[in-house]
Chains A and B, each alone.
Chain A
Amino acid sequence: DTGVSQNPRHKITKRGQNVTFRCDPISEHNRLYWYRQTLGQGPEFLTYFQNEAQLEKSRLLSDRFSAERPKGSFSTLEIQRTEQGDSAMYLCASSLALQGLDTEAFFGQGTRLTVV
């Protein structure tokens, strides 16, 4: 499968625990995005990377959230001290930017987080 891969697909955690999600983008894609989606809502932007550089981070993101893309390939999203309000589907997408213009973004299947 050469699409965007996210792991794990599901995660149940107790409130206060830390969780980490992984995203493997399409190999030649230089941009990687993280989104959060709750039921009945559109995807909400969290952050994005151009290669290994994190170019923008949503102001909605608290200090408990951090994302990395150390070698410009896979990315991780960590949530520290999880809260029930963090329960959502976390989506990763990748795209190939050519001369500043994005081509289509490919989304992974997402990681569904449930905080109990």
Chain B
Amino acid sequence: GQQVMQIPQYQHVQEGEDFTTYCNSSTTLSNIQWYKQRPGGHPVFLIQLVKSGEVKKQKRLTFQFGEAKKNSSLHITATQTTDVGTYFCAGPWGYQKVTFGTGTKLQVIP
């Protein structure tokens, strides 16, 4: 079955440093979504990527969808303590089972 892996599993950064998490799928994805889950909370939608090579930005967050639509990345510039949480990629959304990635837990040291 489809597998979605994320690396790294954990990342500790000093506040102000950049952070990147990578998502790799064993199969081609028609689309992918990114979610953030705060400790003790539920996943909250961040963005959806659909097109090959797509890049989207939300303030300090930059999302990329690979050309082959099998990988994706999330980059955070100048992390803040509010960025703490676990970031998941998930896909494909549509008439199919949705698989969540293994997640990257981000800790920001003030």
Contact = CB atoms under 8 A, between A and B. Distances in A.
Contacts, number: 57
B19 interface: no
B73 interface: no
Nearest to A60: B1
Interface string A90-116: 010101010011111111111000000
Contacts of B96: 56
B24 interface: no
Nearest to B4: A42
A58 interface: yes
A55 B94 CA distance: 11
Chain B binding surface, main DSSP class: loop
A44 B100 contact: yes
A43 B101 CA distance: 8
Contacts of B97: 45, 48, 56, 58
Contacts of A97: 94
Nearest to B102: A42
Contact of B93 (A42, A44, A95, A110): A95
A33 interface: yes
Between B96, B97, B101, the greatest number of chain A beta carbons within 10 A of the residue's beta carbon is seen for B97
B98 A33 contact: yes
B50 interface: yes
B85 interface: no
Given A91-B43, A101-B50, A104-B48, A42 B103 contact: yes
A84 to B, nearest CB: 22
Contacts of B98: 33, 45, 48
Contact of A105 (B93, B101, B102, B103): B93
Interface of A: 33, 35, 41-45, 48, 50, 55-56, 58-59, 91, 93, 95, 97, 100-110
